Structure 1
Amino acid sequence: MATPLSPKSSRGDLEPSTMQVRYFLGWVEVIPCFKFVSAYELWEGWLVVCFNEEKKQKIVHEWAPLDTGFLKLNFDWSSLGNPGPAGIGGVLRNDRGELIWAFAGPIGVTDSTEAEVRAAHQGIKLFVNERLSNVVIEGDSPNVIRWLNGAGSHPWRFDYHFDEMLDWMRSSTFLFRHVRRSANSMADALARDGVTLKDLAHYDSLPP
């Protein structure tokens, strides 16, 4: 990993010294899942966690595969109203963009935030049950991704879902990213199908 220019925080007193940057880089280089994330992004993320600093993220507009050995899980929701009958969907793909599995199903009448949380919850549950590792999870809900990254507090009504997800995440390496809907189109299509299904469905290939 190349040494970046010294990243500057919005708090002038937090601008790192050369020694701090070298120490930070030495620490993150030994963690495999960080090799596709720039040191600048990691440093800024550390500032967000430690000092509750907000940062404008680079939003992904198109789906793209990751480095060899890493998986990508996209999740989404759809509904016929807000609140209204809702469905969830998700898709797991490998570093060549090939489908590993997908899911879609109904979750009853609910609002958009609960539907997005439940889509993430279902996707992470399936991933952990498969005993897989090294995954980037993408969704187009900025709030849910922010809560999964530990920035801010989720509404208390989702305590059950987040407690379970945090427990599951101890067993593997996860990274969460917010993307535009254009980069989440396959999960969106599955979620729209999920609204009309009777039960949760799992797929080894995409449904027609």
Structure 2
Amino acid sequence: MRHFNEPSLPLDNLLDAAKVSLAEFESNLNIRPEKPKTVVQHWKPPMQDTYKVNYDDACFTKTDEAGIGVVVRNELGQVMTSLTKKIPMPLSVEVLKAKAVRRAMIITTEWGFHRAIFEGDSELVVKALFGDSSHHSCIGHIAKDCKSIMSFFQTCSFSHVRQQSNRVAHTLAKRARKSFPLSVWMKSVPPDISYIIYVDVTP
């Protein structure tokens, strides 16, 4: 018998064909797509005599406020200073991130660190701050400040990192919700987040 013009198998071959089809089906069940490996990023120390400055921001929508967190560390991972700052929520996230960059640069110069690497998750904002057309944007006045501050550094660079490598600054930014408008710690961080410093420098 033919069905839909497809040739049929002889009866004595049906069992063998069924066994082959079943084997193929079971083998396909055992194939599982490989899960992408999760790459855990850790904080990386700077070169000797250079300081790494991590910064981040957080939004507190219920109170219409925002937080900025900054931590400065040396090549050994030792904290030189850290801060949290609570500010009124700016008109845009772009302005908030620009203010975080400026605050990080200010505290670094206040401590006399003239060789610094700044790390944050605001790659586009950094490009806008130091680009040729920065004075035309909504962060033009902040860009002017940042470019002026750069003259105090012997070397100064910016790099983009994910939150995994920026955990201390991110936690400090969120902590600003329950802090004074400005809190600064010399050669330390708040005790309740000190464990993150240890995790950062542990391979």
User: Normalised by the size of structure 2, how large is the TM-score?
Assistant: 0.67
Are the counterparts in 1 of residues 45 and 77 from structure 2 also a CA contact under 8 Å? Answer: yes
Q: Which residue of 1 aligns with 2:79?
A: 99
Distance 2:146 2:88 in 1: 21
> Could you say what the CA RMSD is over the residues aligned between the two structures, in angstroms?
2.3
Q: Which residue of 2 aligns with 1:135?
A: 116
Distance 2:181 2:63 in 1: 20
Distance 1:197 1:115 in 2: 18
Quickly say closer, same or farther: Cα 1:181–1:197, change in 2 above 3 A.
same
Are the counterparts in 2 of residues 107 and 115 from structure 1 also a CA contact under 8 Å? Answer: no
Distance 1:155 1:95 in 2: 37
Residue 163 (structure 2) pairs with residue 163 (structure 1): no
Corresponding residue to 1:197 among 159, 179, 189: 179
Distance 1:101 1:131 in 2: 12
Q: Percent identity?
A: 26
Distance 1:91 1:100 in 2: 8
Are the counterparts in 1 of residues 123 and 160 from structure 2 also a CA contact under 8 Å? Answer: yes
Q: CA deviation at 1:152?
A: 6.0
Structure with max Cα Rg: 2
Distance 1:195 1:138 in 2: 22
Describe how 1:1-208 pairs up with structure 2 within 5 A: 61-81=41-61, 84-110=64-90, 111-150=92-131, 153=134, 156-172=137-153, 173-204=155-186, 205-207=188-190, 208=192
Q: Which segment drifts farther, 144-153 or 67-76?
A: 144-153
Deviations 1:65-104 (CA, angstroms, capped at 9, x unpaired)? 0221111000000012399321101000000111000010
User: Normalised by the size of structure 1, how large is the TM-score?
Assistant: 0.65
Task: Give 3-state SS (helix, strand or coil) of 1:91's partner.
Answer: strand
Distance 1:78 1:128 in 2: 23
Quickly say closer, same or farther: Cα 1:147–1:62, change in 2 above 3 A.
farther
Quickly say closer, same or farther: Cα 1:166–1:155, change in 2 above 3 A.
same
Deviations 1:148-185 (CA, angstroms, capped at 9, x unpaired)? 45376476322221111101101212000011111111
Distance 2:135 2:54 in 1: 20
